[in-house]
Structure 1
Amino acid sequence: LAEILHEGEPDLYMEFFGVCFVKFFTTYGYDKILRVAGRHFRDFLHSIDQLHDSTRFSFPKMKSPLFHVTDEDENGAVLHYKSRRRGFQRYIVGQLKECALKFFKEKILVCVRDDISTNEYTHLVFRVDFNNFTARSIERRLMQGPKLHNVTSATFFQVFPFAIVLDHQLRIVHLGTAIKNIFPVGTVLSGRALEDVFRLIRPDITLEWDKVLSYGRHIVFVIESKIPLCTNPSAVGRKFGSNNTQIRLK
């Protein structure tokens, strides 16, 4: 368009198209998903990846990008964007600005702090400036929160029967009973590397301890079993309503 109209720069039009996309999906009712993402723009930034995950049944072939907040203060946040697509930097800026204005009545400033892209991925680090007053209040509330009682491991695993405990080398230390029971009897799982038993579906990252800790704060991890499950239909079916030999866990 810039070449045809001899007016404006390509970045200007890409940002405009990002704004248009937000208006487009609003017309078809997808704004309802964004409106329940949180009360403040900060909440929206933290939940972008989960919003994409919630639409995977409507768009099963969609390869959504990864958005991840790594740092924040009362003046804004640092947002990582990772995708296999190229050239969408200003498009994302337009989307963020329009979402902030349309759904949260917030005017924001977005700039690229760093570009750590590789031949395989586009990986941009955005600094998003906005009135992030909730960051300070949340930090203060956590510091002043009531001291919780200690919980025994037996109680914890009873409440979370699908829990997976890993060590720093990402070896499986413990599995909840609900997970252990869907594997064939005698299957050795404890002590094995997580990647030997499960395949990481989302997010699209390499499995490393520091990355799991960082991304796990705000992003839903989806893993799929590599090892066939129980062949007894009733054992799997009672728990998951399916006879599949694989299972995906969040």
Structure 2
Amino acid sequence: MQFFGECFVTFFTNYGYDKILRVAGRHFRDFLLSIDQLHDSNRFSFPKMKSPLFHVTEEDENGAVLHYKSKRRGFQQYIIGQLRACGHRFFKQEILARVQDDLSSNECNHIVFRLDFNNTSGSKTKRIVPNPKLSDVTSSTFFKVFPFSIVIDARMRIHHMGDSIKEIFPVGTVLIGRHFDDVFRLIRPDIVLEWNRIISHGRHIVFVIENRIPLRPNASIVAKKFGASSNAQLRLKGQMKTVLAWNMVVFLCRPM
């Protein structure tokens, strides 16, 4: 199965899809952190594709721990072959991969891989110049710059919401103070929506959420204006950023 995984990398390279992988990042760890985004970027070309989920939970100078989830079973060696081929072909790295744990259930296949590779250059970002010291901005300015944003407190309750997001819900809908999971459904990554998990994963994972509660009656106009794929659903994609001064997390997103 590892051989077939390596062959698949050669196959899609011959059809030009290697260009997508080559812009995933400078290092192999950048590629690992963007696998889900690479799959997501192909959803319009292959609308019926049911892609697996990947996310990194730990990394050090000697490699990383990668979680793989899929409805399909028996593909862990195939995935190892793909990872080794991508590392060798695109990043000139020899990847040692092994199954560290099997957390599969009746619902899905969940495999934890330990990947050993030289991760020193990726885990320590070198800057040509030091970070400039920027002056603080007011919250009103911040939310003008990021109209698609959601502020979440440590209890996972919505503290503030950008005007562009509030506009898609019916007038009078109570959003502030509600639990985040009451209003939105987490699509990616496949993790439990808890404060500690968001803090630990939010540094390098792209989150995708979808509304649970109904949109405005004229959602056919409003939602499509913001990129909704249907009258009833709007998906938002972005990253969770910790604001230490507020002790909160800001979901900076955009419509998909």
Q: Does 1:197 align with 2:188?
A: no
Q: 2:111 aligns with which of 85, 103, 124?
A: 124
| Partner residue, 1:175 | 161
| Partner residue, 2:26 | 39
Measure, in 2, the Cα distance between the counterparts of 1:240 and 1:108: 39
| Partner residue, 1:5 | none
| Partner residue, 2:79 | 92
Aligned residues: CA RMSD = 2.3
More helix by share: 1
Measure, in 1, the Cα distance between the counterparts of 2:200 and 2:154: 14
Show CA shifts across 1:157-176 (max 9, x none).
11111111112232211100
| Partner residue, 2:141 | 155
Counterpart AA for 1:69: V
Show CA shifts across 1:108-161 (max 9, x none).
1112222233332322222212222323532x659x634443232212211111
Matched length: 235
Q: Percent identity among equivalent residues?
A: 68
- Long gaps (5+) in structure 1: 1-13
Q: 2:54 aligns with which of 67, 75, 96?
A: 67
Secondary structure in structure 1 of the residue aligned to 2:35: helix
More strand by share: 2
TM normalised by structure 1 equals 0.84
TM normalised by structure 2 equals 0.82
Measure, in 2, the Cα distance between the counterparts of 1:126 and 1:206: 20
Bigger drift between 194-203 and 29-38 goes to: 194-203
Bigger drift between 234-243 and 128-137 goes to: 234-243
Contact 1:68 1:218 in 2 (8 A): no
Runs of 4+ in 1 over 6 A off after TM superposition: none
Counterpart AA for 2:186: L
| Partner residue, 1:4 | none
Counterpart AA for 2:36: D
Matches within 5 A, 1:10-49: 14-49=1-36
- Long gaps (5+) in structure 2: 238-256
Bigger drift between 93-102 and 219-228 goes to: 219-228
Measure, in 1, the Cα distance between the counterparts of 2:124 and 2:23: 21
| Partner residue, 2:246 | none
Counterpart AA for 1:43: D
Measure, in 2, the Cα distance between the counterparts of 1:84 and 1:72: 26
Q: Does 1:133 align with 2:133?
A: no
Show CA shifts across 1:63-97 (max 9, x none).
21221122222222222222222211111110000
Contact 2:64 2:114 in 1 (8 A): yes
**Alpha-carbon offset, residue 238 of structure 1:** 4.5
